[in-house]
Amino acid sequence: MQTTGMKKDSKISPVMKKQLQSIVGEKWYLDSPNDLYTYSYDATPIFQSMPDAVVMPGTTKEVSEVLKIANEHQIPIIPRGSGTNLAASTIPVHGGIVLNMTRFNQIIEIDQKNLTATIGPGVVTADLHNAVEAAGLFYPPDPGSMRISTVGGNMAQCAGGMRGLKYGVTKDYIMGLEYVLPSGAVLRSGGKNVKDVAGYDMTRLLVGSEGTLAVITEITLKLLPLPETKRTLVAYFTKLVDAAKTVEKVISSKIIPATMEFMDQGTMKVVDDFAKLGLPLEMKAMLLVEQDGPEELVTRDIERIAEIAKQEGASIVQVSKTMEDGARLLAARRAALSALSRLRPTTILEDATVPRSRLAEIVEEVERIAEKYQVQICTFGHAGDGNLHPTCMTDERDKEEIHRVELAFEEIFHTAIRLGGTITGEHGVGLAKMNYLHLKVGEGGIELMRQIKEAFDPNNIMNPGKIFANSERRRLVVKK
Amino acid sequence: MKLTKTGEGVLRKFDMDEIMNCMHCGFCLPACPTFRQTGLESYGPRGRIALMKGVANEKLSIDHEFEKNMFACLGCRACETACPAGVAYGSLIETARVVIEENKKSQAKPPLARKIAFEHLFPHPKRMEWMGTVLWAAQAAGLQNLASKTGLIKVLPRPLAEMQEAVETVASPKERKKRQLKMNAEKEKLFTVGLFTGCVMDVMFYETNQATARLLTKAGCDVVFVENQSCCGALHAHSGEMNGAKGLAKRNIEAFEKANVDFVVNNAGGCGAALKEYHHWFHDEPEWKERAMAFVEKMRDANELLAELPPLSFTKPMNVRITYQDSCHLAHGQGIRNQPRELIRSIPGAQYVELHQADSCCGSAGIYNMTNYDMSMQILDDKMEDVKKTKAHLIVTSNPGCLLQMKQGIIRTGMQDKIEAIHIMDLLARAL
């Protein structure tokens, strides 16, 4: 057999395979070479590793029984949704069972009285948006991948999105969870109570835990009333610093827009090529601002933001006439990452984040670092919350260049920390940034996190090899 | 099945740059009908490209599973529309199928039915016509009805049995003999166009070709039925039979070169997409590539050309509700979405209603509904749920495969007395 991708020494014995099949049904147990290969990657470039099996449970009870077996035999469990994450958090780096949760895709309840939704973790984020908006309600988190990413995955990584500035991120909307421990125990935390301080906040702890503590089987979400209307404004700048100053000035004028997105010249060129928007490509940067709410307030805010942008040196300021116009521009911003990937075969996107007052500094530093290491980096992101996506266009087949890319990103992370920022704003640590976690939380912080993990998962079966660096392993992980 | 020497040779056919361009973002997944049905990564474009990469890197073998994964794809190319990275998925899947077929040929004989269809039937217009005569004779003799009534039909394989119910009466040989090889413009002549008649199209939908010609003459074109043209080769290309496809392409290029027309017009979305991509088929034959380019530049879908010509004057209003199912290869392959909708809207009295997810494949996809019957019917049944919601009297398509599939869908859901499926050219001709 030439299927070198398949491990010879599968951790799963024929007896275990039978047991797992009898739990979930043969149809939902996959272990052919092709099926394993298609669950060996996520949306993170370069990382790849083969699982031993893919199991797709349909009920909490099935999850519990699968976990019991895995725990008994110390088989890694890698919970997974649509595999759109960008921190390599769903790569089965130590093999084991990829636990595909996409069958948990029911919207169980939209509670109009309490303004909550209770759903399975496999619900696609955009489907949730459509369902709650049909009821006149609003679930703000909107990660770039929302058309395919699942809410469970958003929760595991604590995904952000373009509305983070005004509405916060996924963790601000998770009220309650049902989760399964490696022992098979099914537990609940939180619920529909707005106020609930009974003991440690396990809900908050599990959000962003990247599948390293437990498997989430049900999520109760907080909903808001759907904003009446929204308007979009675009401002173009010949100087980066003017764009950054505009962001600072808007916020210090006590206006909080729903969205404040930044794109540099490189990103504008590529997005324009993809979406054919006719952007003024001689400009150095653009800001895309959206405000939502009652009509009067939206109009007032957008007019004031337009004034501020002009005062701070914007060359062109355009206000969208209709909601559709605005939606078109935002759609282009959503496509920025994928559109950048048209330039070179491999696109590595990071999410170094700084306090928004240091925005101009970090953007200029990224430019300097790209020059220093002779790599191509475009920057776009959520200017309003300081969460930037310096994105490197490279080719994973060129090992020497990839090494320079690694050095450049290392320097970007150190720079972000120096400016009072963090190594990741919304993607999570996963495999991609575990070597930098200590920069942010310190060795003491890492040790405490390890002890928490041990309390949940004494046998270390839950997504092992993530978050905590156990070696000097860098990007090149493509395992046989 | 092991990788043979030939197998290794064909791996070089993969365009690794194109494969690497897929950054596995997953944007394609919600657009993919087979992913939506199964929820399995190996049934989505991202997974299929990963598998191609696995095969090209020799991490996976070209085995039955790889074949199953590659042929489970409808080839609808909705993923290309959804892909912001611009990956040319259509050509990747075609290459994968060529790789599979070449690997197989080096090992075993292809199934006889397939060999007959691809080598001895589709490429030969006379034989296709003969098939048409047989079909007509069977229909004329009432064999079809008899077979249905007596249960004889049950001996046919299920896909064929169901589909034959959807097939309408084909034109008689006598009727087909009446065709004039040239039809003159009914008003001041603007262009001379050659009609690409197609293989299946001209047998089973002879009247649709005639309707197309009438519409074009009404819009100011001389229409010629160019002799010696043949099947477009799309079915061959999509099935990995690239040599057969190229042979057919050459015949068509030669035939239309001789005809000396301003435009070549086709009315089948699937054929059109292939006809417009002939130049990609000849990247290793420069002389033919150039001739193919010239041919491609003249190629127009009938909707596309009619939308550019002076508006048709319709005299028969239709007070009905009409919806439209995109042909994947017209919408995703050729980017023609508005023109058919505008043409339908231009019919006096027509009440147009948009079908939810109209540009999502109906499951017909060439011969997919025969090769992957169960998946095709699941997709069709979902599609018919959306069709029901439109409450339309007519569902319009612009590809013969889609039309048959819609007819079959109507029968499956028992809506025969509520809704009719019709090719857009027949619809427009009705209103003339």
CA separation, residue B243 to residues B62, B219, B236, B275, B286 (Å): 20, 38, 8, 15, 16
What's the ipTM?
Answer: 0.91
Question: Hey, which bits of B299-419 come out as E strands?
Answer: 299-301, 321-324, 351-352, 394-397
Residue B175's pLDDT is: 75
Is the confidence at residue A223, as pLDDT, over 80?
Answer: yes
Q: Cα separation of A235 and A232, whole Å?
A: 10
Q: Which tens digits make up the pLDDT trace of B178-188?
A: 777 889 999 88
Average pLDDT for A407-423 = 96
- What is the DSSP code string of A103-126? T---EEEEETTTTEEEE-TTSBHH
Residue B202's pLDDT is: 78
On whether the CB atoms of residues B40 and B47 are closer than 8 A, the answer is yes
Chain B residue whose CA is closest to A333: B84
On whether the CB atoms of residues B73 and B94 are closer than 8 A, the answer is no
Is the confidence at residue A476, as pLDDT, over 70?
Answer: no
Nearest Cα of chain B lies from the Cα of A27 at a distance, in angstroms, of: 11
The tokens for B291 are 């001739």
Residue of A33, A102, A148 lying closest to B60 (CB–CB): A33
On whether the CB atoms of residues A383 and A356 are closer than 8 A, the answer is yes
Residue of A41, A147, A345 lying closest to B30 (CB–CB): A147
Split at pLDDT 50, 70, 90, the class of A326 is: confident
Is the confidence at residue B377, as pLDDT, over 70?
Answer: yes
Q: CA-based angle B380:B386:B389, to the nearest 5?
A: 140
Residue A313's pLDDT is: 94
Q: Which tens digits make up the pLDDT trace of A360-394?
A: 899 889 999 999 999 999 999 899 889 999 999 99
Residue B4's pLDDT is: 43
Going across the sheet that includes A316-319, the strands are A316-319, A229-237, A285-293, A259-264, A376-382, A387-394, A346-349
Q: Which tens digits make up the pLDDT trace of A232-267?
A: 999 999 998 899 899 999 999 999 999 999 999 988
What is the CB neighbour count within 10 angstroms for residue A456? 18
Split at pLDDT 50, 70, 90, the class of B139 is: low
Q: What is the largest CA-CA distance in chain A?
A: 72
The tokens for B235 are 């079915």
Split at pLDDT 50, 70, 90, the class of A398 is: very high
On whether the CB atoms of residues A280 and A236 are closer than 8 A, the answer is yes
Q: B68 CB contacts (<8 Å, ≥6 apart)?
A: none
Q: Do B20 and A345 touch (CB under 8 A)?
A: yes
Q: Cα separation of A160 and A171, whole Å?
A: 9
CA separation, residue B153 to residues A467, B160, B230, B374, B375 (Å): 62, 9, 32, 19, 22
Residue B7's pLDDT is: 46
On whether the CB atoms of residues B72 and B375 are closer than 8 A, the answer is yes
What is the CB neighbour count within 10 angstroms for residue B270? 29
- Alpha helices per DSSP H over B12-88: 16-21, 33-38, 45-56, 64-71, 78-82
Residue A393's pLDDT is: 92
Q: Residue for token digits 């004329």?
A: B140
A75 sits in the region (left: phi over 0; alpha: psi -120 to 50; else beta) called beta
The tokens for A279 are 């952007």
CA separation, residue A235 to residues A166, A298, B426 (Å): 19, 17, 50
CA separation, residue A70 to residues A25, A74, A463 (Å): 17, 6, 12
Which residues of chain B lie closer than 8 angstroms to A40, CB-CB? Answer: 50
Nearest Cα of chain A lies from the Cα of B335 at a distance, in angstroms, of: 15
Is the confidence at residue A4, as pLDDT, over 50?
Answer: no
**Mutate: best of B3, B42, B89, partner A, most A CBs <10 A:** B42
Split at pLDDT 50, 70, 90, the class of B238 is: confident
Nearest Cα of chain B lies from the Cα of A186 at a distance, in angstroms, of: 26
Q: A393 CB contacts (<8 Å, ≥6 apart)?
A: A340, A341, A343, A344, A346, A347, A376, A377, A378
Residue A469's pLDDT is: 87
Q: Which tens digits make up the pLDDT trace of B257-309?
A: 999 999 999 999 989 999 999 998 998 899 999 999 999 999 999 999 999 99
Residue B112's pLDDT is: 62
Question: What is the average pLDDT value for chain A, to the nearest integer?
Answer: 91
Provide the residue count of chain B.
432
Which residues of chain A lie closer than 8 angstroms to B58, CB-CB? Answer: 2, 4
B interface residues, A as partner, C-beta within 8 Å: 2-3, 17, 20-21, 23-27, 29-30, 39-42, 47, 50-51, 54, 58-61, 65-66, 69, 83-86
Residue A345's pLDDT is: 86
Which residues of chain B lie closer than 8 angstroms to A335, CB-CB? Answer: 84
**Mutate: best of A4, A26, A34, A84, partner B, most B CBs <10 A:** A34
B210 sits in the region (left: phi over 0; alpha: psi -120 to 50; else beta) called alpha
CA separation, residue A295 to residues A100, A231, A306, A330, A357 (Å): 43, 9, 16, 19, 29
Split at pLDDT 50, 70, 90, the class of B414 is: very high
Q: A254 CB contacts (<8 Å, ≥6 apart)?
A: none
The long-range contacts involving A166-170, CB below 8 angstroms and separated by at least 24 positions, are A166/A140, A166/A256, A166/A257, A166/A258, A166/A259, A166/A384, A167/A140, A167/A141, A167/A224, A167/A258, A168/A140, A168/A141, A169/A141, A169/A426, A170/A141, A170/A207, A170/A208
Residue B130's pLDDT is: 62
For residue A264, the cross-strand partners are: A285
Is the confidence at residue A5, as pLDDT, over 50?
Answer: no
Provide the residue count of chain A.
480
On whether the CB atoms of residues A265 and A385 are closer than 8 A, the answer is no
The tokens for B67 are 């074949």
Question: What is the average pLDDT value for chain B, to the nearest integer?
Answer: 86
Which residues of chain B lie closer than 8 angstroms to A83, CB-CB? Answer: 24, 26, 41
Q: Cα separation of A31 and A27, whole Å?
A: 11
For residue A394, the cross-strand partners are: A346
Average pLDDT for B316-331 = 94
Nearest to A289 by CA among A273, A280, A301, A277: A301
Amino acid occupying residue B240: G
Q: Cα separation of A285 and A244, whole Å?
A: 10
Residue A448: phi, psi to the nearest 5?
A: -65, -45
Split at pLDDT 50, 70, 90, the class of A421 is: very high
Q: Which tens digits make up the pLDDT trace of B58-76?
A: 899 999 999 999 999 999 9
Is the confidence at residue B133, as pLDDT, over 90?
Answer: no
Nearest to A98 by CA among A120, A75, A80, A125: A80
Q: Which tens digits make up the pLDDT trace of A120-147?
A: 999 999 999 999 999 999 999 999 899 9
Q: Cα separation of A350 and A45, whole Å?
A: 11
Residue B184: phi, psi to the nearest 5?
A: -90, 150
On whether the CB atoms of residues A40 and A92 are closer than 8 A, the answer is yes
Average pLDDT for B421-427 = 96
